[in-house]
């Protein structure tokens, strides 16, 4: 699905893949983000054999605004709430400034914590 905007010179089309790419680039620069992971498929998508669990960022266009859902892992020793809030701010600012589209919400799903090999070896 694409985001369309009519201007005096014609129509601007921004694909959801471009918005997802902007979101990933903005989120990867946030301190504490370890990796991006595909959405874990739920029971319904497993029964339908849906392909919705293959992307780390999902973009939805609703009522003239963009809704973004990003799935990631955080580094051990970081505050999950602080990292998630920073990702939300960074993604929203980057997408709005680069596309001119209104970002209604940015949902962050933490799929796990990456522990360093040094901290787990001593345990």
Instruction: Determine, yes or no, domain membership for 122.
Output: no
CATH number of the domain within which 21 lies? 3.30.70.1350
| Domain boundaries, position 72 | 2-42+52-115
SS (H, E, C) the chain: CEEEEEECCEEEEEEHHHHHHHHHHHHHCCCCEEEECCCCCCHHHHHHCCCHHHCCEEEEEECCEEEEEEEEEEECCCCHHHHHHHHHHHHHHHHHHHHCCEEEEEEEEEEEEECCHHHHHCC
Structural domains in the chain (count): 1
Instruction: Determine, yes or no, domain membership for 13.
Output: yes
Please indicate whether residue 22 or residue 8 has the higher confidence score (pLDDT): 22
What was the pLDDT predicted at 123? 44
* Least confidently predicted of 10-14, 18-22, 86-90, 96-100: 10-14
- pLDDT tens profile 22-44: 999 999 999 999 999 887 666 65
Instruction: Determine, yes or no, domain membership for 63.
Output: yes
Instruction: Determine, yes or no, domain membership for 99.
Output: yes
Please indicate whether residue 7 or residue 95 has the higher confidence score (pLDDT): 95
Instruction: Determine, yes or no, domain membership for 121.
Output: no
Residue 2, pLDDT > 90, answer no
């Amino acid at each position: 699905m694409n985001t369309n905007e009519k201007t005096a010179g014609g129509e601007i089309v921004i694909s959801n893949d471009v918005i997802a790419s902007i979101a990933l680039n903005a989120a990867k620069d946030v301190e504490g983000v370890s990796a991006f992971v595909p959405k874990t498929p739920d029971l319904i998508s497993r029964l339908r054999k849906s392909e919705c669990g293959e992307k780390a960022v999902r973009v939805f266009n609703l009522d003239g605004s963009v809704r973004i859902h990003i799935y990631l892992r955080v580094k051990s020793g970081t505050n999950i709430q602080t990292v998630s809030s920073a990702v939300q701010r960074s993604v929203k600012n980057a997408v709005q400034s680069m596309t001119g589209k209104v970002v209604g919400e940015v949902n962050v799903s933490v799929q796990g914590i990456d522990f360093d090999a040094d901290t787990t070896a001593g345990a």
